[in-house]
Amino acid sequence: MRKFVLIVMLCVISVVFAFAQVASAYDFGDFRSVTLVSKAWGVLAKNDLEAVLAYTNKCIELYAEQAQKMQNELKDYVVFDPNDPATKEKVFSYWALNDVATALYIQGEGYLKNNMKEEAKEVYRKVVENYTFGQAWDLQGWFWKPAEAAKDKLKILDSGLDIDYGNYSSSHLVGQAWKALSNNSLDGVVIYIDKLLEMYEGKAKEMQASLKEYPWESKEKIMSFWALNDVGTGLYIKGEAYKNAGKLEQAKEAYQKLLDEFSYAQCWDPQGWFWKPAEVAQQRIAEIDNQ
C-alpha cells in the first residue's frame, strides 16, 4: 500500500514539474487573451509548434468558458461598418470569443505547417462548430472571420488539392483559376470560382446594374469595374473547365449565368487589349447546342 502511495506521489510530482517547466519556458505576459494570441501569431511565423500550442492552449484554458457564453448570445456576426467607430467597439466587446476563435485557428495553422492534417482538421472544426461568430482584427483596418477561414481550410484538406487563396483578392482567385484550367483541374477551378462568387458576386452585380453599355473610355475606366470583370471572367473559366471535362450542361449553366448577370464584364489580355467573356460564352453555348 505504501509503495502504491509513493508511486502516485511521484507521478503527481512529475506532472507538476512538467507543468512548471512549460510555464518557465514561455512568457505568458499579463495572461490576457489578446497577449496570448499575439504571442501565438509570433511563434507561428517561426513554425514553433510547441510554442504555438503553449500560448493557444493557455488562451483556451483561461477564456473558453467566457467565449462560449458570448457565442451563445449571438445569432449572427456583429456587423462592422468602417464608417462607424461604434461598430468596431461592438465587435471588440466580444473579446473572449474573438480571441479563442483566433487561437484555435492559429493552432490549426500550426498543425498544418507541420503536416499534421488530421489534428488541424479537428481544430478547424472546433472553430466552426463552437466559436462561429468570432472575428479577428486585421491591422489593415478590417475584421476577418476565423470560422470562415477554417471552413476554407477544411474544404481544401478534404479536396486533397493544392489550393492557395492567397490574399483572397478577386484577381488572385481568377489567376489561380486560370492555372487550374491550364492543368485540367476541374475541381480546382470550381473551388476558386465558388470562392470568388461567394466574396464578390454582390459587388459585381452592383457594377453590372450601373452600366448600360460596355465601359470603353480608358483602360483605367474599364478596370475600375474590377469585381464585374473578375466575376464574369471567373464564370467563363468555370464554363470552359466543365466543357473540357465533357460536362456540357454544367458548362452551359456557367456560360448562361455570365450572359444573364454579368454581360458587361471585360477581361484584360496580356497582349494589350480587352476581350468580352459574355460574347465568347454566347458562342460556346451555340457550339454546345449544335453538337
Amino acid found at 204: A
* DSSP assignments along 24-36, one per residue: HHS--TT--HHHH
Q: Give the DSSP H or E segment for 124.
A: helix 117-130
3-class state of residue 269 by DSSP: strand
pTM of the model: 0.75
Domain boundaries, the chain: 13-160, 163-291
Write out pLDDT tens, residues 92-106: 999 999 999 999 999
Over residues 253-265, mean pLDDT:
98
pLDDT band with cut points at 50, 70 and 90 for residue 24? low
User: Is residue 131 within 8 Å of 67, Cβ to Cβ?
Assistant: yes
CA–CA separation, 80 and 82 (whole Å): 6
pLDDT band with cut points at 50, 70 and 90 for residue 153? very high
Over residues 150-172, mean pLDDT:
90
In this predicted structure, the answer to whether residue 18 has a pLDDT above a threshold of 50 is no
Tell me which of 10-14, 73-77, 126-130, 258-262 is least confident: 10-14
Query: What confidence score (pLDDT) does residue 3 get?
Result: 52
CA–CA separation, 171 and 158 (whole Å): 25
Sign of the C-alpha dihedral computed for residues 62, 65, 69 and 71 taken in this order: positive
| 245 DSSP 8-state letter | T
| Percentage of residues of the chain with pLDDT beyond 70 | 92
Q: Which of 231, 163, 239, 235 is nearest to 203 (CA)?
A: 231
State the pairing for strand pair 136-138/142-144: antiparallel
CA dihedral 243, 246, 250, 256 (to 10 degrees): 30
pLDDT band with cut points at 50, 70 and 90 for residue 124? very high
pLDDT band with cut points at 50, 70 and 90 for residue 225? very high
Q: Which of 139, 136, 151 is nearest to 191 (CA)?
A: 151
3-class state of residue 143 by DSSP: strand
Q: Which three cell numbers stand for residue 13?
A: 510530482
3-class state of residue 264 by DSSP: coil
Q: Which three cell numbers stand for residue 199?
A: 466574396
pLDDT band with cut points at 50, 70 and 90 for residue 285? very high
In this predicted structure, the answer to whether residue 8 has a pLDDT above a threshold of 70 is no
Query: What confidence score (pLDDT) does residue 161 get?
Result: 87
Amino acid found at 232: G
Terminal-to-terminal C-alpha distance of the chain = 87
Query: What phi, psi does 290 have (nearest 5°)?
Result: -90, 0
pLDDT band with cut points at 50, 70 and 90 for residue 152? very high
Write out pLDDT tens, residues 47-73: 999 999 999 999 999 999 999 999 999
Q: Which of 181, 254, 263, 177 is nearest to 225 (CA)?
A: 263
In this predicted structure, the answer to whether residue 21 has a pLDDT above a threshold of 70 is no
